[in-house]
Structure 1
Amino acid sequence: MQPTPRRMPTLDEVAARAGVSRTAASRAINNVPHVSRAKREAVERAVRELGYVPNPTARALASSRVGAVVLAASSDETGLFADPFFAEIIVGVSGALEETDLQLILVLAKTPRGRDRLQQMVRSRRADGIMLMALRGDDPLGRLAEDAGMPVVFGGLPLAGEPRWYVDVDNRGGARLAADHFVRAGRSRPVMITGQVDSQVSVAREQGFAEGLTLAGVPLLGASSGAFQVEGGAEAMEQLLDAHPQLDAVFAASDGMAIGALQVLRRRGRRVPENVSVIGFDDLAGARHANPPLTTVRQPVRALGHEMARMLVGAIDGQDPSPLILPTRLTVRESAP
């Protein structure tokens, strides 16, 4: 009678022995730079103890990865680094990638030259995946994602279509929180400063605010659009005051625009919050230091970046992560008590 052949250990058994997930075990065995040193050492120990022999085909596939991911934004250098929103995104992305050996490549792709540089990077496979931020309208970066041939995670939904992988915040629900707060405070003549009309973020926030007012039976007195910066908010506030001098509440689709609105209201003799209440959207550091401190819808910006990076790493590793919507909440300060 011939002896029964010794059964070879499986990857699942290696993962169980090492106390890690099957994906982490696979990454460590295939020497993919997406796993911490502690997990790698635990897997290597389990491989030795069990006598596990890796699949050579899987190892060859894994070794084709380059160990880098791209964060691409439709922004220029000045706009990106002057905006605290993007700073928080980068901190969140970097924090998630600290758990891996992946390098982060930042690409500013607002200009044709920047987009060409990103396209060349994609064609030459100098990255394992891409995160896309700040897309508006028919941004060419959206079409690039379709042809990338590698995992692409969107930070925020584009205006058209729904990508396979994205992380967003509840923009619509957050704007409704602002409307509800105005209604409870007895404000009956609200206006809104919206962002760019070709931005899904702006559209969702405008819809949410209008819905909240409609449900309460309060009409929206007027709206004006502007860039998501202090200057855009100031210009829109001037227009709204000229058109609707009786306004008593302002919802701005970003903290920057709300701060611009506060400056104009103060210059034109309107007291906040006595005459006019103001609510922004973001809850970045500037909101706490505004004059007066800004009531605002808090979105978890750093968590947005962190979850984008985690989703991308999972997609690179062959998983199929589900899209994620992060919650928002209202932070009440002196501009709209």
Structure 2
Amino acid sequence: MTTRAAEPPRPPTLDEVAVAAGVSRATVSRVINDVPTVDPRMRAAVERAIEEVGYVPNLAARSLVTRRTDSVALVISEPPDHREYAATFLNRVFTDPYFGRLTAGAQEVLRPEGIHLVIIPADPPAHEQVLRYLRQGHVDGVLLISSHAADPFPGQLADMGVATVLSARPGRPVPLSYVDVDQPAGVRLAADHLVARGRRRLGTIAGPQDMPAGQDRLSAFRDALARHGLPSPPVAEGDFTRASGEAAARALLDGHPDLDGLFVANDLMAEGAVRVLQEAGRRVPTDISVVGFDDSSAALEAHPQLTTIHQPVEEMAGEMARLLLAGLREPGRSPRTVIFSPTLVVRDSS
């Protein structure tokens, strides 16, 4: 005797929700598709009925009606003609605390709205593939981390009409909203702190000079020292990785062994620089004070812990998400710029 396997229970239908709520099938459909003109009392009744009967909306069918995917892409872009770096693109993406903080801040805003965040690295080999994916409407909008002045991605997304918000000032004018920290103000805090500590022979490890952030932090440090009547600092350039900070610190010590203060354009490079200074017998902060930028986890992992410039990355990412949601609700909205204020966090390295 053979027995038939029990058939899985049939999922509740839209009609059953309508009966439970005491409304028409069309009203249930409007609630599920988030039509704003539904009477609030009917909407509440339908939402209760959906929970009671266990109805799960067909998201694929819903997207055909609403033309929304309820997902947003966090795209981390690097231009095709990028320079050579000490670490590979994906290694930098997944080891730099900055990207994790951005992701967490965006999620805090998007998750309560029922919107999924899709993380998409877009290094040069993947550029065209990512553009096709975005052009085909797989996501509703883009939070774009584009750090390089020559990156064509922001302009391409603007030309495609994809709702996009940038994580920093773009290197070229583009009609997109962006969120940034007041870079010069942060650097001035670092310079003023070093000078207040009695440091006069100052150097800097700059970020990449093909990135607006790297450019802004270097030029602001030079300006700040000039304001204090100090000479232009010796400069070694890194790529925002720990290894590049180590290499840059060695170069600075070789040419300027008497430095007593160092401003480093991000915490990862500063952590690497501190290691090299200590290996060279320079005590931090007794012999040389070090100040980083970002206030990331690297600042706390350094020994000694880093004095640094705090930029509220999570709050900045949350504002990016809010700007994007506002743009999706109101297409054609004029681009906005939101600038956050940095603060100095004093720890043991200065």
Q: What SS does the corresponding residue of 1:99 show, helix, strand or coil?
A: helix
Contact 1:158 1:199 in 2 (8 A): no
**RMSD across aligned positions (CA):** 2.6
Shift of 1:62: 7.8
Cα separation, partners in 2 of 1:273 and 1:120, compared to 1, 3 Å = same
Q: What SS does the corresponding residue of 1:130 show, helix, strand or coil?
A: strand
Distance 2:260 2:39 in 1: 63
Shift of 1:133: 0.2
Which runs of structure 2 are paired with 1:267-282 in the superposition (5 Å)? 267-282=279-294
Can you give the 5+ residue segments of structure 1 that lack an aligned partner in the other structure? 1-27, 34-39, 50-58
**Greater displacement, 248-257 / 217-226:** 217-226
1:81 corresponds to = 94
Distance 2:203 2:42 in 1: 63
2:342 corresponds to = 328
> Among 238, 242, 245, which residue is 2:254 paired with?
242
TM-score, length-scaled by structure 2: 0.78
Can you give the 5+ residue segments of structure 2 that lack an aligned partner in the other structure? 1-29, 46-61, 79-88
Contact 1:69 1:103 in 2 (8 A): yes
2:41 corresponds to = 45
Shift of 1:140: 2.8
Q: What SS does the corresponding residue of 2:160 show, helix, strand or coil?
A: coil
> Among 158, 169, 182, which residue is 1:157 paired with?
169
Shift of 1:142: 2.3
> Among 233, 246, 268, which residue is 1:221 paired with?
233
Distance 1:296 1:103 in 2: 33
1:105 corresponds to = 118
Q: What SS does the corresponding residue of 2:119 show, helix, strand or coil?
A: strand
Deviations 1:143-195 (A, max 9, x none): 32222212110001122225430011111110110011111111111001001
Count residues with an aligned counterpart. 293
Distance 1:236 1:266 in 2: 14
Contact 2:295 2:309 in 1 (8 A): yes
Are residues 1:117 and 2:119 paired?
A: no
Q: What SS does the corresponding residue of 1:147 show, helix, strand or coil?
A: helix
Distance 1:123 1:144 in 2: 10
Cα separation, partners in 2 of 1:332 and 1:60, compared to 1, 3 Å = closer
Cα separation, partners in 2 of 1:162 and 1:250, compared to 1, 3 Å = farther
Shift of 1:99: 2.2
Cα separation, partners in 2 of 1:30 and 1:316, compared to 1, 3 Å = farther
Amino acid in the other structure paired with 1:328: P
2:301 corresponds to = 289
Shift of 1:137: 2.5
2:48 corresponds to = none
Deviations 1:40-90 (A, max 9, x none): 9x96328799xxxxxxxxx99982222221110026433212111101111
Distance 1:147 1:313 in 2: 19
Cα separation, partners in 2 of 1:171 and 1:29, compared to 1, 3 Å = farther
- Structure showing greater Rg: 2
Contact 1:189 1:220 in 2 (8 A): no
Distance 2:132 2:64 in 1: 22
Cα separation, partners in 2 of 1:100 and 1:177, compared to 1, 3 Å = same
Contact 1:167 1:304 in 2 (8 A): yes
Distance 2:44 2:278 in 1: 71
Cα separation, partners in 2 of 1:149 and 1:248, compared to 1, 3 Å = same
Which runs of structure 2 are paired with 1:181-260 in the superposition (5 Å)? 181-260=193-272
Contact 1:314 1:320 in 2 (8 A): no
